[in-house]
Amino acid sequence: MGLRRRELLIGFAGAGGLALTACSQDRKPPPPPPPPAVIRFDPPPDAQNVGARAPAKVTITNGTVRSVEWIDETGRPLPGGPAPDHRTWISSEPLGYGHTYTAKVVAQGATGDITATATCTTVQPDRLVDVSLCSSNLNEIAENDTYGTGFVLVAHFDEPIDRAAAEPHLKVTTVPAVTGAWYWLDDQNAHWRPEHYHPPGTKITAAAEFFGIDLGDGAFGERDQRITVNIGAAHVAIADDDTKQIEVFDNGVLVRTMPTSMGRGGTAVIGDRVLSFWTRPGVYTVLDRKDPVMMDSATYGLPNTSGLGYRTSINKAVRISHDGIYVHELAETVWAQGNTDVSHGCLNISPDDAAWFYDFVVPGDIVEVRNTGGDPLDIWQNGDWTIAWPDWLRGSART
């Protein structure tokens, strides 16, 4: 009996051991406590000289946004709102220049609400620089203006800036697409054109995205701009001094031939300046039209009281250069038009031809002068299209 009882006890213990082992395998460790919500600020707390272009942003991990206050030094709240999932909040305007912000955020998580605060400051420029988007006539372009196929976009800054810092923020797109490039005349003026004349019907959108951009030496951009203009028909006038005729083409079709008298040639020394009386060869564009215009030789250094000087009102005048070259009416030289050059540099044509040409052209139309003497047309005179494309590309701040 003793032995039997001992066997039974051992069996019972063994069975119990197996049962206990099975129970320990079924037990799971208790789940970890839920993590608290985490609040992240962008810009981060205590950030200094934050870019003015950046928005304010709050990101919540393990929770959602309950409330956000982002207040500047005047007590003005920065407007903004949460994303649909309430896990982020972003301001609806950039941080701007010269502000000190205090932010307070309440986030809701599984462990309850948490609150966090932060401060930051934004960059304070020494000065703000603006840029004007102009055509070659240096007048600001307006939305949906129409220009000729020789249109050149001009970006004029109101003070010198760092070209390399500025150029990436000058953006031009065209429909149809063409490849174009910027050419810097100096630290305040950049011109944009493609390799060849614009196709008729092109739409050109220019963007100057300078708000918040460091332009060097303490200067920052004042604003962003965006504007679209149109290219009209292909109007090209070719003035050939060999024939002394101006042939005018409309979309490749010759529509008028006009006898002309161009610059008489030669030079004169007035004071310390050498004045040229050639009509410089090159590709001009129409800058503007005036009827009448007062022409005064004193404006380019030739006293109107001298033997060669003049001051007179001229009708139907189409300006093609910044130094005073016009295609204009002059009845007094009709006898010379088509056979003799007698002007100071302008292209004289008859009253009938001048009236027709005045009504036909728009700014940006091409006027090409061939076979005259003197130096080639320079870019400062309105000679953008006279510059060969490889040379134009070397005028970029990116080269």
User: Which of 99, 169, 198, 346 is labelled catalytic?
Assistant: 346
In sign, the C-alpha dihedral spanning 128, 129, 132, 138 is positive
The DSSP letter of residue 222 is -
φ, ψ of residue 147 in degrees (nearest 5): -130, 165
Maximum alpha-carbon separation in the chain: 154
* 328 in catalytic set: yes
Q: What value does the CA radius of gyration of the chain take, rounded to a whole number of Å?
A: 37
Measure the CA–CA gap between 329 and 205, rounded to whole angstroms: 36
If phi > 0 it is left, if psi is from -120 to 50 it is alpha, else beta; for residue 300 that is alpha
User: Which of 169, 198, 328, 344 is labelled catalytic?
Assistant: 328
φ, ψ of residue 130 in degrees (nearest 5): -105, 160
Helix/strand/coil percentages in the chain, nearest 5: 15, 40, 45
* 322 in catalytic set: no
Q: How many angstroms separate the Cα of 337 from the Cα of each of 28, 204, 379? A: 106, 38, 28
Measure the CA–CA gap between 154 and 241, rounded to whole angstroms: 30
Q: Please state the length of the chain.
A: 399
Measure the CA–CA gap between 130 and 220, rounded to whole angstroms: 9
Nearest to 124 by CA among 57, 217, 50, 45: 50
- Residues noted as catalytic: 328, 346
